[in-house]
Amino acid sequence: MTRSLLRYIPTAVLRAGAALAFAAAILVCLPGSAQAGPCDIYAAGGTPCVAAHSTTRALFDAYNGPLYQVRRASNNATTNIGLLSAGGFANAAAQDAFCANTTCVITIIFDQTTRHNDLPVEPAGTAGPANSGVPAEALPVTAGGHAVYGASFSGRMGYRHTAASGVAVNGQAEGMYMVTSGTHFNSACCFDYGNVEVSIADTGNGHMDAIYFGTLCWFAPCNGAGPWIMGDLENGLFQSNSGGSLSTANTGNRSPFVTAMLKNNGQNFFALKDGNARSGGLAVRYSGALPTSLAGYSPMHQEGSIVLGTGGDNSNGSIGSFFEGVMTAGLPSDATENAVQANIVAVNYGGPSPVAAGTLTPGSTISLRATTACCTTRYIRHQNNAAVTTVISSASAQLDKDDGSWIVRRGLANNACISFESRDFPGDFLRHQNFQLFRQPNDGSALFLADATFCPQAGMTGTGTSFASFNFPTRFIRHFNNTVFIASNGGTNTFDATASFADDVTWAVSAPWTP
């Protein structure tokens, strides 16, 4: 059509035509009509992905490369985990085979765009020491009916690509989302995915533009209990231009799978949305001006690097879950973002098949009851970070029940054994230190992983279960004077006493006080 003909078509008709063309492009890309990925949808909307990371699936219809690299503990060998088919889901069976009888960490999450904005493990920054990769088997879920793994972050875990290619800098527009979880979060700084500094340091207001998800309320008010999506724009987690939330309806999102979205035109506008990644649409939590009462955010000063799991300066105390995320060039339209949410919902993220409570199957929640005659109403719980036994009953306070409940995980140091994650402090595990048991955050170190791994065997009294320490296999979880140790029968410590040893190391694996 020539320019002269175009002149005679009313603007409204042209706009409707453009909208129809966009809708058609999106339709072609919707799952079901073709196996489109979110990045095909962003491209159809004119805001192409410049980074695309996932441990669960391809984010482009045509992608058929590696999703992530794992390294196994037994011999430090690495392998790349790819897809079952082009545009499809992760080949988790390849990981299971490679990591059998040892453990693996994720060492790189690959960028699926042609820009190679891969995410290796983040080194030390000004606010935190060097990070570990996440344990590769800690978050088994399903996507599209396939068993896959998400990335489960404890403190001191993070990934970073410095000086990424094509990511917004100095006030350029961008969009991004991540699929995370509303059941695994904390209030430490900062579970982020997005645009950060080139140096691993805080270089000033507006030098970051990242999605934050958690319960760190930087600016009041934060409504309800969270966790909330916020924009980490550096030196502040923003829910609006004034910092705090403007929406009393936004009490947080506790869905097991959460879509968290941020867009920022780099000059004077940003928006935050979230939704249940398993159903429905997106809630707009904020859409409006960038902060102006504090200098540096309007316009922005992004530096174009990418972080996952920590703050811009490597503040790395946070925990969280990550399944997929992308960053775009340009400001995505609402229609594009809605289509991306529909695409995510179509993935049908889910938990592993339900695991019965009160068993030692990974994923099960349990309480551990002592069996010694003195103490059959006492359970292992944490109190002031130490593991002790206290009497817990249905009449107990909720706090006592929470502290006395544990989620069984595959052994952090050996997946033939198990680890016990705190029910009310996600990311914290039972570990021994100087032979005493404590609740502590997983710092990813080899020592922690080993100290937090226990191998179940038939109970020494002939009933129940005893738990051998993975790295001190002659020592078993024992209560002694109501404190919990790893003890060896007849050893040199008072808690190694032979009297009632078998009873004290025999536990009844019970239904959890807090499911």
Report, as residue numbers or ranges, the catalytic residues.
234, 313
User: Measured from the CB of residue 184, what is the shortest distance to ligand AHR in angstroms?
Assistant: 19
Q: CA 190, CA 318: separation in Å to the nearest integer? A: 5
What is the distance, to the nearest Å, from the Cα of residue 48 to the centroid of all Cα atoms in its chain? 25
User: Measured from the CB of residue 127, what is the shortest distance to ligand AHR in angstroms?
Assistant: 6
The continuous run of DSSP H or E covering 351 comes out as: none
Summarize as ranges the residues that interact with ligand AHR (CB under 6 A).
127, 189-190, 202, 232, 234-237, 311-313, 315
User: Measured from the CB of residue 210, what is the shortest distance to ligand AHR in angstroms?
Assistant: 7
Instruction: Single out the residue of 390, 471, 410 nearest to residue 435, CA to CA.
Output: 471
Instruction: Single out the residue of 195, 191, 96 nearest to residue 149, CA to CA.
Output: 96
Smaller CB separation from ligand AHR, 234 or 402: 234
CB 99 within 8 A of CB 137: yes
Smaller CB separation from ligand AHR, 313 or 503: 313
Smaller CB separation from ligand AHR, 237 or 261: 237
Residues 6+ apart with CB under 8 A from 444: 105, 131, 132, 133, 134, 135, 154, 156, 157
Q: Report DSSP state, residue 304.
A: -
Smaller CB separation from ligand AHR, 132 or 316: 316
Smaller CB separation from ligand AHR, 212 or 480: 212
User: Measured from the CB of residue 325, what is the shortest distance to ligand AHR in angstroms?
Assistant: 16
Largest CA distance in the chain: 99
Q: What are the backbone dihedrals phi and psi of residue 277, each rounded to the nearest 5 degrees, phi first?
A: -70, -5
Smaller CB separation from ligand AHR, 234 or 451: 234
User: Measured from the CB of residue 254, what is the shortest distance to ligand AHR in angstroms?
Assistant: 23
> How does DSSP assign 419-487, residue by residue?
EEEESSSTTEEEEEETTEEEEEE----HHHHHHT-EEEEE-TTSSSEEEEESSSTT-EEEEETTEEEEE
Which residue of this chain has its Cβ atom nearest to ligand AHR in the complex?
311
Q: CA 458, CA 325: separation in Å to the nearest integer? A: 44
Please say whether the dihedral angle defined by the alpha carbons of residues 322, 326, 331 and 337, taken in this order, is positive or negative.
negative
User: Measured from the CB of residue 315, what is the shortest distance to ligand AHR in angstroms?
Assistant: 5
Structure tokens at 180: 């995370």
What is the distance, to the nearest Å, from the Cα of residue 495 to the centroid of all Cα atoms in its chain? 38
User: Measured from the CB of residue 448, what is the shortest distance to ligand AHR in angstroms?
Assistant: 24
